[in-house]
Amino acid sequence: MRKIMYFRVAGRDVHLPKLIGAFILFAALLMFIQASAVMFDSWDTAKETNKCLQLAAANNARVDPSEDVYPLCQDLAKDYLGIRVRHGQESLTVRQFWGALLAPIAGILFWLAMLFFGYILYKTGDLVLPIEEDIKIIPEQEKPARPFRKKK
């Protein structure tokens, strides 16, 4: 025998796991979209930082460099990617490039897993809970007619 738990919310019977699954599914979908935007933004910023470093290296290679572009590239890498770029570095290393992208990729995978979890909860027609119900009948004890002794 299976039991489906319904809860009354605003005068309607609601299947609680399906309701929770719908909320998780909606929130995870929004966060998945946001994590995707962060990942693509990080990818574009990494490519832009690489171009900036190449421009700064070419600018320093000239005999009379007009301005130093490295501080701009270092600020770009530090603020948006969270990586440190050395002065004189010509491009991002493979470790720096993928290190800056791993956190956004992990965020996408986490929210994808949460989407899957919310979908599983939403699609459960019934949830079997391992709750046992035992009913024990305890007879009432007879109370004495006079609980106190008589005074003498």
Q: How do the pLDDT tens digits run along the chain, 152 residues long?
A: 555 555 565 666 666 778 888 899 999 999 999 999 999 999 999 999 999 888 888 887 775 666 777 888 888 888 888 888 888 888 889 999 999 999 999 999 999 999 999 988 888 765 555 555 566 777 777 776 666 666 66
Structure tokens at 40: 């693509």
What's the domain range around 72? 6-123
Instruction: Give how many domains the chain has, as a whole number.
Output: 1
Q: With a threshold of 0.85, does the pTM exceed it?
A: no
Instruction: Evaluate whether residue 14 is within a structural domain.
Output: yes
Short-list 5, 19, 22, 1, CA closest to 127:
5
Look at the chain and count its residues: 152
Instruction: Evaluate whether residue 92 is within a structural domain.
Output: yes
Instruction: Evaluate whether residue 142 is within a structural domain.
Output: no
Q: Which residue has the tokens 């000239």?
A: 62
Instruction: Evaluate whether residue 79 is within a structural domain.
Output: yes
Instruction: Evaluate whether residue 146 is within a structural domain.
Output: no
Strand partners, 7: 14
